């Protein structure tokens, strides 16, 4: 059963926000009044929409296009600010803008707690598809900002540059996959104004964008060959290049033209930075809800957005392609020079190192400031390792590493910075004219998803259940099964064979009979006329973590010796890196443990402090996370910090009647007899029927171990 959805009605209460050339954007606050769902009139005809909201829940919407309502869509949360703006600090989520086609109506629903909602309506005019431009030797054809009509007047600040590039982060824009070639640059223009005027960022967040026809667009300004710091992966923006695929790729696979363009772009851009696309890098997080500031994270040179933060981006289907994309990138545009490095200084010993993608002849040349060659060395190998004594040399020296034609070399100052050297004879590049693609009719089967997609043993349950959603455009016979990724020839686990009606369908299946591993959940739909469509979504089963508990669940770190700490217990199936953090309202509060653990039962204690300072009373969530060969799994436990003792007030001493501020165990000694009562908040009467009360003492102790003051009488 799907969660109950609260309905919202739009009113026009926020002023027009921006008019930027061929793009118009208007914002409206949406009142959270809970009235019945109904069609509403937006402030304008629109073809894109973006949402901002506060709260821990999620927002769904649908629009009326060509007289009919679309399917419900979940707004994507893509909070990646250039800086900690006041809006971001206030807990706003910045949903990605979605291309919808010309629309005239909108409806909203919410799941969970939403305290504020703001809608941004955009209309971006469709113009002719831009011509491509090749500006740099060896680069793929890239549409510059001027050709997709970027509005340079709205850019808030000059570009910022990172000292070096470390990795590429792949995204998707989370919008339709059926746009035309002429609509693609309109989508890019809409994203720009939404990122700048809606989110308050300096410029469009991505460094590059790629449409489904294989067109590559320059994103954030500052130079496509330079390490421009974008706003695409919070905590990981400095030193990364963000590439966004225009579309939604949760279940749909990026088309071949888009994949080919991604390979060409990353091959050239990583080659320019001398990065091995198959390598990993240790990256220090600048801070986000998944990785606190200062956390060292190991990432692939070509990572997905979900590797850097709490998001599903770039979608399951695109993310699954990244290992294969990295292999293609490594094999494209050979030969390559990885990690060239010179250490030493003039007058001492110079050491040159590096790696080639294959054994080729390379040459190192050292020159004086006058351009005179003072040393040179050549060899044929895949490894560069040469030491030369610069004893007696005076003045600054420069060096270069060169290889065969087509290889991007490196050069620099001895003991200083280095740059990339273009090949002597750049390879010829022939622009590719994409073939127009006709949008396909409505698919028989669409919207396949499994939630959660990573299954582990949740405390208090024994099953490994996932909820599967998909939509049929016509009634069909549906077969659902799970196929092992490691052993695709093995017999699949059959989940369903049934006739299913048209529309949105939801099923819940227990996959607890399967061993740990990666799987493909396949749904095959066949209509009465024989039309068959198959969709696949990835599912991972990982029992690395289990039996997570917090004891006591309510504790009182006030130093009185009672329940001053909470003990977290869990079991680790194998030796893995584990992190245990404390969160409140989704934000990290404290890191209790980070390190290698296992296998076996584990216990970690927490004293209720963060950096030596006790955190306030309230409800918190403990999150234990383990990373293994299958990915990352997490378990959660709710706990409460309560350092406030209960309060007892005498109402009538003769009848032993009191008022109690909170539920507690009340202990009374009446005429020398001890009586214990489990009492709720409110009025409590100590049961006594053995004559007049000549003396009493009474106190209360709450669930956290806090004890009230002792009252006595009469």
* 632 token code pair: 């990352």
Same-domain pairing of 394 and 363: yes
Q: What mean pLDDT comes out for the span 173-189?
A: 89
351-381 residue pLDDT tens: 888 888 888 888 999 998 888 888 888 888 8
CB neighbour list of residue 455: distance below 8 Å, 6 or more residues apart: 464, 465, 466, 511, 539, 540, 541, 542
593-619 residue pLDDT tens: 988 888 999 999 999 998 788 889 988
Same-domain pairing of 592 and 513: no
- Secondary structure (3-state) at 316: helix
E strands, 227-319, in order: 240-245, 280-284, 296-300, 302-304
Q: Is the pLDDT of residue 435 over 80?
A: no
Q: Which CATH number is 360's domain given?
A: 2.60.40.1930
- Secondary structure (3-state) at 333: coil
198-207 residue pLDDT tens: 888 889 999 9
Q: Tell me what pLDDT residue 421 has.
A: 61
What gap in Å lies between CA 236 and CA 272, rounded to an integer?
A: 20
Q: Which of 9-13, 485-489, 548-552 has the highest mean pLDDT?
A: 548-552
Q: Which residues of 271-282 are buried (b: 16+ CB within 10 A; e: fewer)?
A: bbbbbbbbbebe
Same-domain pairing of 619 and 680: no
- Residue 432: inside a domain: no
CB-CB contact of 235 with 287 (8 Å):
yes
What is the value of pTM for the model shown? 0.57
Q: Is the pLDDT of residue 286 over 70?
A: yes
Q: Which residue has the higher pLDDT, 330 or 439?
A: 330
Say which residue the tokens 């706990």 belong to.
639
Same-domain pairing of 40 and 80: yes
Q: What mean pLDDT comes out for the span 44-70?
A: 87
What phi-psi label fits residue 165: left (phi over 0), alpha (psi between -120 and 50 degrees) or beta? beta
Same-domain pairing of 151 and 272: yes
Closest by CA to 362, choosing from 380, 376, 374, is 380
- Residue 167: inside a domain: yes
Q: Tell me what pLDDT residue 671 has.
A: 93
377-409 residue pLDDT tens: 888 888 888 888 888 888 889 989 988 766 788
Same-domain pairing of 108 and 147: no
- Secondary structure (3-state) at 576: strand
509-521 residue pLDDT tens: 889 889 998 898 9
Closest by CA to 521, choosing from 471, 486, 483, is 483
- Pairing of β 58-65 and β 105-111: antiparallel
Same-domain pairing of 86 and 61: yes
Q: Count the neighbouring beta carbons within 10 Å of the beta carbon of residue 700.
A: 27
Q: Tell me what pLDDT residue 128 has.
A: 66
DSSP state of 95: B
* 668 token code pair: 């009374």
CB-CB contact of 567 with 589 (8 Å):
no
3-class SS letters over 394-463? CCCEEEEEECCCCCCEEEEECCCCEEEECCCCCCCCCCCCCCCCCCCCCCCEEEEEEECCEECCCCCCCC
Q: Count the neighbouring beta carbons within 10 Å of the beta carbon of residue 501.
A: 10
Band (pLDDT 50/70/90 cuts) for residue 259 is very high
- Residue 135: inside a domain: no
What gap in Å lies between CA 415 and CA 341, rounded to an integer?
A: 10
What gap in Å lies between CA 450 and CA 316, rounded to an integer?
A: 10
CB-CB contact of 577 with 487 (8 Å):
no
Closest by CA to 167, choosing from 311, 270, 319, 314, is 270
Q: Tell me what pLDDT residue 30 has.
A: 83
- Residue 429: inside a domain: no
Same-domain pairing of 260 and 350: no
- Secondary structure (3-state) at 664: strand
- Secondary structure (3-state) at 46: strand
Bond into 335 cis (ω within 30): yes
CB-CB contact of 636 with 586 (8 Å):
no
Q: Tell me what pLDDT residue 406 has.
A: 66
* 323 token code pair: 């290992």
CB neighbour list of residue 231: distance below 8 Å, 6 or more residues apart: 80, 81, 82, 195, 199, 201, 202, 203, 205, 220, 237
14-47 residue pLDDT tens: 333 444 458 888 888 887 765 434 445 688 899 9
119-161 residue pLDDT tens: 899 998 887 666 555 555 567 889 999 889 899 988 988 898 9
Domain of 529?
Answer: 445-536
Bond into 12 cis (ω within 30): no
Measured CA angle at 511 (ends 510, 517), to 5 deg: 160
Last residue of a domain, one of 124, 152, 171: 124
Q: Tell me what pLDDT residue 129 has.
A: 61
Measured CA angle at 27 (ends 195, 118), to 5 deg: 85
Give the percent of the chain with pLDDT over 70. Answer: 87
Q: Which CATH number is 118's domain given?
A: 2.60.120
Q: Tell me what pLDDT residue 17 has.
A: 45
Q: What is the DSSP string of 483-507?
A: EESS-TTSPPEEEEEEEE-SEEEEE
Q: Which CATH number is 165's domain given?
A: 3.40.80.10
Element containing residue 186 per DSSP (H, E): helix 183-193
Last residue of a domain, one of 284, 307, 331: 331
- Residue 673: inside a domain: yes
- Residue 239: inside a domain: yes
Q: What is the overall mean pLDDT for the chain?
A: 83
Same-domain pairing of 459 and 574: no
Closest by CA to 266, choosing from 220, 207, 205, 178, is 207
What gap in Å lies between CA 648 and CA 337, rounded to an integer?
A: 76
* 33 token code pair: 């009044």
Q: Which residue has the higher pLDDT, 633 or 679?
A: 679
- Secondary structure (3-state) at 261: helix
Same-domain pairing of 181 and 275: yes
- Residue 454: inside a domain: yes
- DSSP-assigned beta bridge partners for residue 354: 384
Q: Tell me what pLDDT residue 668 has.
A: 94
Q: What mean pLDDT comes out for the span 466-470?
A: 89
Same-domain pairing of 462 and 492: yes
Q: Tell me what pLDDT residue 130 has.
A: 63
- Residue 428: inside a domain: no
What gap in Å lies between CA 471 and CA 676, rounded to an integer?
A: 59
78-133 residue pLDDT tens: 544 433 333 344 467 877 888 988 888 898 888 888 888 888 999 988 876 665 55
Exposure on the CB side of residue 709, measured as CA atoms within 13 A: 6
DSSP state of 153: G
Element containing residue 673 per DSSP (H, E): strand 673-679
Q: How far apart are the first and last CA of the chain?
A: 58
Last residue of a domain, one of 641, 661, 679: 641
Looking at the structure of the chain, the number of domains it has is 6
Same-domain pairing of 500 and 366: no
Q: Tell me what pLDDT residue 651 has.
A: 93
DSSP state of 615: P
Q: Count the neighbouring beta carbons within 10 Å of the beta carbon of residue 372.
A: 8
DSSP state of 152: G
Alpha carbon 587 to its chain centroid, in Å, reads: 14
Q: What mean pLDDT comes out for the span 273-293?
A: 86
Q: Tell me what pLDDT residue 85 has.
A: 39
């Amino acid at each position: 059963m799907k969660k109950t959805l609260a309905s919202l009605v739009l009113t026009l209460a926020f002023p027009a926000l921006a008019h930027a050339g061929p793009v118009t954007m208007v914002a409206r606050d949406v009142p959270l009044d809970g009235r019945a769902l109904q069609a509403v009139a937006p402030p304008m005809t629109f073809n894109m929409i973006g949402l901002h909201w506060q709260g821990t829940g999620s927002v769904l919407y649908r629009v009326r296009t060509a007289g009919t309502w679309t399917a419900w869509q979940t707004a994507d949360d893509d909070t990646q600010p250039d800086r900690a703006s006041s809006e971001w600090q206030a807990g706003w989520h910045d949903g990605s803008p979605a291309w919808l086609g010309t629309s005239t109506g909108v409806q909203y629903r919410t799941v969970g707690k939403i305290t504020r909602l703001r809608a941004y309506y955009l209309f971006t005019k469709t113009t002719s598809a831009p011509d491509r431009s090749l500006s740099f030797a060896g680069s793929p054809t890239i549409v510059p900002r001027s050709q997709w009509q970027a509005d340079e007047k709205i850019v808030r600040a000059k570009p910022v540059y990172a000292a070096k590039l470390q990795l590429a982060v792949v995204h998707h824009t989370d919008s339709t996959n059926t746009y035309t070639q002429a609509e693609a640059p309109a989508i890019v223009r809409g994203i720009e104004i939404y990122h700048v005027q809606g989110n308050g960022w300096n410029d469009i967040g991505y460094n590059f964008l790629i449409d489904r026809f294989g067109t590559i667009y320059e994103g954030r300004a500052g130079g496509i060959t330079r390490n421009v710091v974008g706003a695409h992966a919070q905590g990981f923006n400095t030193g990364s290049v963000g590439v966004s695929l225009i579309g939604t790729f949760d279940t749909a696979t990026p088309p071949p033209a888009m994949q080919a363009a991604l390979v060409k772009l990353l091959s050239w851009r990583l080659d320019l930075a001398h990065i091995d696309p198959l390598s990993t890098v240790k990256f220090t997080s600048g801070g986000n809800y998944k990785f606190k500031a200062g956390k060292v994270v190991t990432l692939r040179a070509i990572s997905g957005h979900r590797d850097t933060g709490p998001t599903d981006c770039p979608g399951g289907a695109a993310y699954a392609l990244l290992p294969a994309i990295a292999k293609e990138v490594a094999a494209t545009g050979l030969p390559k020079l990885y990690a060239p490095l010179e250490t030493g200084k003039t007058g001492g010993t110079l050491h040159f190192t590096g790696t080639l993608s294959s054994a080729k002849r390379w040459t190192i040349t050292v020159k004086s400031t006058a351009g005179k060659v003072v040393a040179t060395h050549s060899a044929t190998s895949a490894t560069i390792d040469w030491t030369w004594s610069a004893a007696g040399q005076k003045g600054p020296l420069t060096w270069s590493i060169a290889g065969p034609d087509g290889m991007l070399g490196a050069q620099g100052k001895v003991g200083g910075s280095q740059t990339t050297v273009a090949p002597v004879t750049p390879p010829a590049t022939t622009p590719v004219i994409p073939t127009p693609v006709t949008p396909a009719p409505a698919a028989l089967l669409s919207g396949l998803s499994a939630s959660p997609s990573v299954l582990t043993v949740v405390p208090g349950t024994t099953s490994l259940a996932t909820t599967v959603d998909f939509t049929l455009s016509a009634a069909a016979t549906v077969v659902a099964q799970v196929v092992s990724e490691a052993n695709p020839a093995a017999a699949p686990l059959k989940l369903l064979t049934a006739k299913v009606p048209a529309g949105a369908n939801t099923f819940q299946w227990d996959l607890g009979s399967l061993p740990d591993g990666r799987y493909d959940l396949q749904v095959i739909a066949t209509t009465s006329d024989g039309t068959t469509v198959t969709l696949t979504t990835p599912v991972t089963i990982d029992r690395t973590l289990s039996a997570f508990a917090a004891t006591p669940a309510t504790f009182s770190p006030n130093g009185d010796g009672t329940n001053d700490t909470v003990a977290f217990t869990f079991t680790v199936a194998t030796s893995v890196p584990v992190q245990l953090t404390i969160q409140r309202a989704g934000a990290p509060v404290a890191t209790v443990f980070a390190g290698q653990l296992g296998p076996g039962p584990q216990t970690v204690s927490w004293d209720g402090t963060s950096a030596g300072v006790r955190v306030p009373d309230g409800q918190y969530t403990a999150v234990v996370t383990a990373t293994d060969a299958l990915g990352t799994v997490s378990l959660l436990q709710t706990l409460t910090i309560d350092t406030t003792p209960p309060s007892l007030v005498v109402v009538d001493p003769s009848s032993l009647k009191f008022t109690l501020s909170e539920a507690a165990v009340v202990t009374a000694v009446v005429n020398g007899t001890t009586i214990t009562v489990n009492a709720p908040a409110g009025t409590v009467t100590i049961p006594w029927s053995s004559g007049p009360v000549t003396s009493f003492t009474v106190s209360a102790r709450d669930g956290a171990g806090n004890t009230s003051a002792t009252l006595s009488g009469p």
